[in-house]
Amino acid sequence: MQAPEHTAGSRGSTHPQGRAGAGSVPQTVASLLWLPQAGLLAHALQSLLEGGGARAVVWPAAMLLALGLARGGLEAWGLRRSFRAACERLGDLRAQVARALAARSPLDAARPASGLAASVMAEQAEAVVPYLTRYQPARCKALVVPLAILAAVFPLSWIAALVLLVAAPLIPVFMALVGWRAKAASEAQMVEIGGMNAFLLDRLRGLASLRALGAVDFTAQRLRAAGDSLRRRTMAVLRIAFLSSAVLELFAALGVAMVAAYVGFHLLGQLNYGAWGVRLSLGQGLFVLLLAPAFFEPLRELSLVWHDRAAGEAALAAMARLSEAGTALPGANDAAVPPMAASRAARPPALCVRALEFSHAGTGGAVFDGLDFDVAAGEHVALLADSGAGKTTLLSLLAGLVPVQGGSIRIGDETMSAATASRLRQRTAWLGQKPHIFAGTVQANVALGQPGVGAAEVSTAMWFAALGATAQAHAGAMLGEGGVGLSGGEAVRLALARAVVRPQADLLLVDEPTAHLDAATAEAVTEALLQLAHGKTMLVATHDPVLAARLDRSLRLHAGLIEASEVTP
């Protein structure tokens, strides 16, 4: 497993806290400034008692003010630095997770549910910012400030220092025990949120089917149960957060009370030991008293952000899980590939498949075990086979969507490999069985972010795909998620239009373009496809004998091998 913070390519530090820690130093220095401030206060009081008058108070007051301003400034600067660094770190982590998800093959059945991935990246990942912004400085302060205060108190009174020293370790011990439970509870809550989001997204997508099958009530009940379960988990996290605060407040209050009692009785002359054989002055006593609550302050702050740490670490772990490697998409994130050439290669590519071996991850049997076949440059070939024989798998291998496990695939002059897949995909147009339509305009759905494809090109492509006369013909028309607003046949034709705006793609891999279409629509799609494939190489997986008869040749696939090759008369 590769945690996102350790994945190559991050702009920042390899540690999750990395640059966010840069803001800790000014914030810690700001807290340490309380020591000279307390010293000045105690000194001013002592001078007043010794008859120094108002003049003895003026310069300590001025310095106190200056130190206060410096403290505020340092605190604000440190906080801003931490926040900015945390936001950058979160951006890096999100980019890394996105890259890891994009690097997984679409055929990887173990890919995280899209609802879960969206929930972790958009929502849960936000917990990383308070974790890095608040927890890291609080931890730094808790390590440094109490030690500095101990060092200042010890030379005045070893008893007061001892009281603080005994009270302090109890707090981290109890906090660690509580924090251990808090982390587990927070992780469980994250899993619950992710699961509920994935469930919601899936059910929303399948709302029409649920309604048709009368399963709406049952789904609502399951959603209610999931909501209840999430509420229980959230309450568990909150209970633990309150418990940790109570533990800390108790020990901090006991520590301060004991120091105050000691200093009080010592000044009254009732406890004459613990100050290295001398009696503390009122100013010294006040100094120790002022420092006692400040000793516990960083620990109190740490307790406040303890939940941030639990939530932040749980979010980091969730992102690490999303970054786990699965079946790789060959050549994914291949930055070295130049942008798609505007012009086509001189000749369409020939296909040469030799001794191809492939089996899906987690399944026993091989889909292909020594498959051989050729498609000549510019030839249009139908791939016929029974359902489940491996047509889609073969097209996916040819499109470089999944790595070849044995043998070779040659497209034109290049052999498919991780190094060439990305480049080869640029000359390939893929018309899948279920083209995904995004919620957005027709223009965005056809261009798919390709530069240089404007409204005019989209409109031409829509006419070419026989969609010019439909209500969605103009580039600005809105389409719903999953193709709402289009019929099944129109969605297939929209996929055709996507191929039309990529004239440089001279290898067409088409998966059952006429499945589930009536004869007239199938005919229209076939015509458009043949026109698009003119001067290009095309392999069409199909069960449709009418479509197969319009192509140059048919290959019959059976048991992972080419059984027959028939030239169309």
Ligand X SMILES: Nc1ncnc2c1ncn2[C@@H]1O[C@H](COP(=O)(O)OP(=O)(O)OP(=O)(O)O)[C@@H](O)[C@H]1O
Q: Which is nearer to ligand X, 393 or 521 (CB)?
A: 393
In DSSP terms, 565 is beta-bridged to: 555
Nearer to ligand X, 42 or 557 (CB): 557
Residues 274 and 259: beta-carbon distance below 8 Å: no
Q: Which of 54, 242, 363, 451 binds ligand X (CB under 6 A)?
A: 363
Encoding tokens for residue 511?
A: 């998966």
Return the number of the residue (202 or 228) whose C-beta is nearest ligand X: 202
Buried b (16+ CB within 10 A) or exposed e, 358-368: bbbeeeeebbb
- Please list the helix, strand and coil fractions of the chain in percent, rounded to the nearest 5, in that order: 60, 10, 30
Span from 389-397, 403-411, 453-461, 476-484 in contact with ligand X (CB under 6 A): 389-397
Least CB distance from residue 562 to ligand X, whole Å? 14
Least Å distance, CB 100 to ligand X, is 18
Identify which range of 70-78, 79-87, 391-399, 449-457 contacts ligand X by CB under 6 A: 391-399
The closest of 174, 178, 77, 186 to 128, measured between CA atoms, is: 186
Residues 6+ apart with CB under 8 A from 369: 357, 560
Gap between the Cα atoms of 520 and 503, Å rounded: 26
| CA-wise closest residue to 152 among 259, 41, 251, 292 | 292
The two beta strands, 414-415 and 507-511, are unpaired
CB of 371 to ligand X, least distance (A): 12
| H or E element that contains 46 | helix 34-49
Nearest approach in angstroms of CB 99 to ligand X is: 21
**Half-sphere exposure of 425 toward its Cβ, with a 13 Å CA cutoff?**
22
Closest-CA residue to 374 (of 354, 348, 352): 352
Check binding of 390 to ligand X (CB under 6 A). Answer: yes
The sign of the dihedral angle between the CA atoms of 182, 184, 185, 187 is positive
User: Considering the complex, what minimum distance in angstroms separates the CB of residue 244 from ligand X?
Assistant: 45
Among 42, 367, 416, 508, binds ligand X (CB under 6 A): 367
Smallest gap, in angstroms, from Cβ of residue 301 to ligand X? 50
Three-state SS for 300?
A: helix
Structural contact between residues 416 and 409, judged by C-beta atoms closer than 8 angstroms? yes
Q: If DSSP codes are grouped into helix, strand and coil, which group holds residue 19?
A: helix
Whether residue 28 contacts residue 141, with contact meaning beta carbons closer than 8 Å, is answered with yes
Identify residues 493-552 at the interface with ligand X (CB under 6 A). Answer: none
62, 70, 102, 109: residue in contact with ligand X (rule CB under 6 A): 109
Minimum gap (Å) between residue 508 Cβ and ligand X: 17
Shorter beta-carbon distance to ligand X: residue 70 or 109: 109
* Part of the chain binding ligand X (CB under 6 A), chosen from 58-66, 116-124, 385-393, 522-530: 385-393
Q: By CB under 6 A, tell whether 360 contacts ligand X.
A: yes
Tell me the closest approach of the beta carbon of residue 387 to ligand X, in angstroms.
3
Per CB under 6 A, the segment of 256-264, 272-280, 384-392, 422-430 that binds ligand X is 384-392
Q: Does 385 bind ligand X (CB under 6 A)?
A: yes
CA distances from 32 to 67, 81, 285, 406 (A): 11, 19, 19, 65
Strands 351-358 and 406-411: antiparallel
Q: Which uninterrupted H or E stretch holds 369?
A: strand 368-375
Q: Least Å distance between CB 367 and ligand X?
A: 5
**Regarding beta strands 351-358 and 368-375, do their DSSP bridges make them parallel or antiparallel, or are they unpaired?**
antiparallel
Instruction: Note whether 489 binds ligand X by CB under 6 A.
Output: no
Query: Residues 56-95 vs ligand X: string with x where CB under 6 A?
Result: ----------------------------------------
Six-digit token pair at 32? 């340490």
**Is residue 364 within the footprint of ligand X (CB under 6 A)?**
no
Which of 468, 401, 410 minimizes the C-alpha distance to 432? 401
Q: Which stretch binds ligand X (CB under 6 A): 126-134, 264-272, 360-368, 481-489?
A: 360-368
Please state the closest distance from residue 222 (CB atom) to ligand X, in A. 26
Residue whose CB is less far from ligand X, 270 or 387: 387
Which region among 10-18, 170-178, 306-314, 390-398 touches ligand X (by CB under 6 A)?
A: 390-398
> Please, which residue, 110 or 147, has the CB nearer to ligand X?
110
Q: Quick one: which of 219, 392, 441, 521 contacts ligand X (CB under 6 A)?
A: 392
Residue 321, H or E segment: helix 306-322
Euclidean distance between CA atoms 95 and 93, whole angstroms: 5
Give how many residues touch ligand X by CB under 6 A.
13
Query: Is 391 or 493 the residue whose CB approaches ligand X more closely?
Result: 391
CB-nearer residue toward ligand X: 392 or 526: 392
Supply the minimum distance, in Å, between the C-beta of residue 385 and ligand X: 5
3-state SS, one letter per residue, for 489-501 = HHHHHHHHHHHHC
Question: Which of residues 389, 398, 509, 533 is near ligand X by CB under 6 A?
Answer: 389
Looking at beta carbons only, is 109 or 212 nearer to ligand X?
A: 109
By beta-carbon proximity to ligand X, the closer residue of 51 and 362 is 362
Q: Where are the beta strands (DSSP E) in 17-175?
A: none
What residue ranges bind ligand X (CB under 6 A)?
Answer: 107, 109, 360, 363, 367, 385, 387-393
